[in-house]
Chains A and B, each alone.
Chain A
């Protein structure tokens, strides 16, 4: 499913002395099956955008099209559940949303709110708990007896159980240790590739955006200032500096190396693996050429 923001502006507390504008004329189209990263500093408006993606916030101006439903500014909307079912959001520190007595009950909470039968919801819970890397025995435990990392996986399973067509991730790895971080990111990447889940990653990690996303949008002070593929975005180092953003580690390293060599590598590499392969390839070609 695709989502399109058209000239979206948003203000908190409009019409009071405390009015605070958070978004200005944002245009952003997220096609079906894509992996879109939205990057920006804290306060750049990326969390506000995120809440527009399933109508938790409605634009003050402009419109948001979510699949075949369009949310217009100033119009009263009734029953947004179908929209919310299709767009699942994994909020930052999602473990804070757990509330049920058992993990199972918490996972089936979402789907049952959207009218899925209990039996079906329980089935989904059993499949998903394994998918997020926890044993099935966890289902009968209280979520509050689990470790922080386990709680996060349960919360993620709870969102996936709604079987959304789009999944929105808000800093899904914040506070995790390196292994936990990789596991969670790989899990979502697998879902994206295997189930064609449209994925929107809201993050300040250039590394994750470079590694996983196929499209990137940069937010700065409420404006969407840059959009493009990772290659396009990261070959534009001067522009990024304006928004106080850094290049991913790999790209910075590639630049360093190119400067030393006095020439360019054949392409811009976005992961360490790709860079290692490219360098090895270059060396082989040079050897064979001699």
Chain B
């Protein structure tokens, strides 16, 4: 079951990008998402593409995983591309067939928007592919730390997040097991008419909920016995270390911003 989920999966490695602190990576991605919107002409989009390519190379992630990451949004990309092509009626007409009229600006905008999608998906995928979910959680907890002053339960949220991450594979296995057990009893959710498939959901969901609650109860007991009573007075075993590379990564964003501001029309 897990094998189908390549998008959002962590691929362990030891590249420059892998070694960065999750905080710098999170800030980087967040800043990048904003910076992307600075691009508005051909040179700026070329710079964006080149920069993204550089990040990909430095992460040493195989293109296979990135292409797979594109799959879920490919339809959205094609749709917006077509939308721009058909509905932007500026610039000279470059193609005409029956009721289809394509203008130069339409084509240009369509390509721009596709590049924008592409670099955003690639860079966020690089974040999740090179950072373990638990490191992302750690980074978020620290970055959101100041919000504790506004009564946001940052520690609790981070703990919830990390426990959910920890239990995803367990629950996936469990789903697979219960599905197989019910299939063996003649109730198949994977084949047959839609009506039967809907009926097969209950025998799958009920046991899954029962077991999830049982696990939650067990886990709560185990945590209590091991002395857990909220974030107060806890120390942290997972330490984050900011290094010179992290500063360099953030500086690169500043440089890119400057270039884009200079080149944009």
Contacts and interface: CB of A to CB of B under 8 A. Distances in A.
Question: Quick check: do A and B touch in the complex, using CB within 8 A?
Answer: yes
Contact of B202 (A89, A99, A113, A114): A99
Contacts of A94: 181
A56 B184 contact: yes
Interface of A: 12-13, 16-18, 51, 54, 56, 78, 80-81, 84-85, 87-89, 91, 94, 96-99, 109-110, 113-114, 144, 158-159, 162
Interface string B180-192: 1111111110010
A88 B2 CA distance: 26
B3 A16 contact: yes
A16 B6 contact: yes
Contacts, number: 65
Interface of B: 3-4, 6, 62, 64, 174, 177-178, 180-188, 191, 202-203, 206-207, 210-211
A99 B203 contact: yes
The 7 A-B residue pairs whose C-beta atoms are closest, nearest first, are A113-B186, A13-B3, A99-B206, A110-B185, A97-B181, A89-B184, A114-B186
A17 B186 contact: no
Interface of B is mostly: helix
B187 A109 contact: yes
Nearest to B4: A13
Contacts of A109: 185, 187, 203
B184 A17 contact: no
Given A91-B180, A96-B177, 14 more contacts: A13-B3, A13-B4, A54-B184, A56-B183, A78-B191, A84-B184, A84-B185, A91-B181, A96-B207, A97-B178, A97-B203, A99-B206, A109-B203, A162-B186
26 contacts: A18-B3, A51-B180, A84-B183, A84-B185, A87-B184, A89-B181, A91-B180, A91-B181, A91-B184, A96-B177, A96-B178, A96-B181, A96-B210, A96-B211, A97-B178, A97-B181, A99-B202, A99-B206, A99-B210, A109-B185, A109-B187, A109-B203, A113-B185, A113-B186, A158-B185, A162-B186
